[in-house]
Structure 1
Amino acid sequence: MSELRALLRRLEVFTGELPEFDAAAAPAGPAALFTAWLLEAVEAKVPEPHAMSLATAGRDGNPAARVLIVKDVLPDPDAGWRFAAERTSPKGAALAERPYAAATFYWPDLGRQVRLRGPVAAESAEAGAADFLDRGPGARAEALLGRQSRPLHDPAERAAALAGARERVAREPDLVAPGWTLYTLRAEEAEFFQGAPDRDHIRLRYRRAQDGSWSKERLWP
């Protein structure tokens, strides 16, 4: 056994006091339960509780995942999770080719995980502009560069471009990156996982019906 494998096998999971979860008392829709869990993660001071892993697939069907920030959650029955991206970025291009995604939230201090799957739609240009202008000046300057994921041959070139973008943001505070887009993942399925030290984990899955209502069921852990 390699040293790394041995180390990984010694690492503990689901330690300490974890919250209880009464799946039978869960609300009728997933957005309400997600919001409650998110607020509990904030109260517990879980680092970056609004970070989510977003997985997409392009025309070739090969998946790609990255971590970004959820911007808003639409209440039930809509149950939509909003995030933003540059339209020409790899994730924006993948969503244009295949507008469907999966997202995961993980709050290790609470032993909790939320998994989502569903179609993704771009919101209006006005909604994207409003989201962009809600960002801090540094984040807006970064987004204005518009070169995400392209090869960087000279860090000095990026430093100069970023300095110019910061000056532009200061000079034009209402400037919006033309490709900035607000997206909504409208969940068709949402799963909530509550870990337990004794491995008696609880999994609750919501599924959206054709009429927009939600069903829920327990799953084997």
Structure 2
Amino acid sequence: MSGLRVTGRLRSLARVLAAGAFMVAGLSSTAAHASETAPLAAAPQLGVQFNADGDAGQCGGRTGEQWAASPDWTQAIRFDTDGRSGGCQLAFGVYDPDRALAGASVSYSLRPSAGGDAGQCGNYQSTYSMPILPIQVFGQAVRVDTDGRPGWCDLTFSVTGNVVLDVQFYPDGDAGQCPDALPAGQYRSAFVGTPVTVKIDADGRSGGCQFLLRLRHF
């Protein structure tokens, strides 16, 4: 009689263990499925396009097209325009695959300084939006061709919404070519109501101006 009771208990225990194993397996399967169908959000990327349209030695650093994921810095580009032929074409864009920046905007403009020779700052002296799209595209290109003529070009960035744009701009030679620049590693931040302007006055003096950007969102 006692043997029958022990056997019955063992069978009951086996059924309980089997049911528990089934539940654990079910939970594991559900968790695995959830992780497969809910990937981490992709970070927005800031794009810079920088090309020479004359003597390539005037447009240094990372030329061509580049994209940096938030909150990484772009690679430096370098203005060293002078009396050589041509200048540097510059454009920007934001790649936002998951629409993290919906409702935000980033704009840029290139204009001559007060009293400066407007011919140093190209034909597109207006304000342009950086496209914020789930594809990698750039806005209108602006052109820097500063030299020994009076004045310089003001490159200004403005933002709205949940973004901050950090701007590094510093000389690697004669500091007079990069008016109001900060030392390397320091930066100014454009956020709602607070634009940032860099002053590009590269010419025949030694060195040039290094320029980097970083996009942050919250």
TM-score by length of 1: 0.24
Over alpha carbons, which structure has the higher Rg? 2
Q: Relative contact order (alpha carbons < 8 A, sep ≥ 6): 1 or 2 greater?
A: 1
Q: Which has the higher strand share?
A: 2
Q: Which has the higher helix share?
A: 1
